[in-house]
Amino acid sequence: MDIHIIPCLKDNYAYIVENKETKNACVVDPSESEPVVNFLKKNKLNLKYILNTHHHADHINGNLELKKKFNSQILGFKKDKNRIPGIDIFLNDKQIWNFEGSDVLIEHVPGHTSGHIFYYFKNEESVFTGDTLFSFGCGRLFEGSYLQMVNSLKKIRSLPPKTKIFCGHEYTINNLKFCMEIDKNNYQLKEKYNQISSNIKNKLPSVPSYISEEIKMNIFLKFDDLEFKKRIGLEDLNDVDFFKRIRDLKDNF
């Protein structure tokens, strides 16, 4: 199975997962239809499914046109059935859905929105995190609590270290700048910043990142890392209060 990155709008990413043998495909979070249609036509793919991580417009606006054009089925979290246009298949937390013989784990990860989910393709060792976890960052909290977001990030963090992370936006440069501002002596962050800067200059995406490097460098995942908390003078804060402090700092960065 191949995963194709489809830039959309200003900084969104949709993703097409292709079975190379059958030419069947699914798309994750189509914020607009045109770039998805263009890729599908160019590569002669049959769009079977549309997968939504959450209900925000910049992740679902391509749903209905793609469904009409390709007779695709739309998937989303059951509790968001009234907020995802055209939804056909209602997903549950911890459900295993199958695409072309590949098992896909659905996990409920509230925080950014109350109905946010991720899709973990086990055979492909890839997770589509929407706006819950970004490369070296995380999403703002619009509907969930800080405790919910911490628990959601724990779920993603617990995936195998070599899991590839395909997130919803190209925010990586700004996220790395913020991480370097907080974790000033982390040479791995500086190396990663230089690498990603080069990619962006050459009009290449920064995604995917890996669970292993997110654990090492993403300060939003360090809420229970006592050594790190001591290093930046926040060792007195519990996990949730630490996350809230970091999230508030990022919101005003």
Give the model confidence (pLDDT) of 81-130 as tens digits.
Answer: 999 999 999 999 999 999 999 999 999 999 999 999 999 999 999 999 99
Question: Is 131 considered catalytic here?
Answer: yes
Question: Is 58 considered catalytic here?
Answer: yes
Tokens of 253: 């960065």
Q: Which of 4, 58, 224, 225 is catalytic?
A: 58
Q: Domains, the chain, ranges and CATH?
A: 2-251 (3.60.15.10)
Q: Which of 54, 55, 108, 116 is catalytic?
A: 54
Q: Which of 56, 80, 108, 116 is catalytic?
A: 56
Neighbours of 33 (CB within 10 A): 22
Q: Contact at 8 Å (CB) between 6 and 39?
A: yes
pTM value is 0.96
Question: Is 56 considered catalytic here?
Answer: yes
Instruction: Please tell me the distance from the alpha carbon of residue 179 to that of residue 193, in angstroms, as a whole number.
Output: 10
Neighbours of 242 (CB within 10 A): 24
Question: Is 80 considered catalytic here?
Answer: no
Give residue-wise pLDDT tens across range 141-190: 999 999 999 999 999 999 999 999 999 999 999 999 999 999 988 999 99
Residue 251 phi/psi, 5-degree rounding, is -60, -25
Instruction: Please tell me the distance from the alpha carbon of residue 187 to that of residue 181, in angstroms, as a whole number.
Output: 12
Q: Which of 59, 80, 108, 116 is catalytic?
A: 59
**Three-state secondary-structure class, residue 66:** helix
Q: Which of 29, 80, 108, 112 is catalytic?
A: 112
Tokens of 37: 């249609």
Residue listed under structure tokens 């590569």: 43
Question: Is 59 considered catalytic here?
Answer: yes
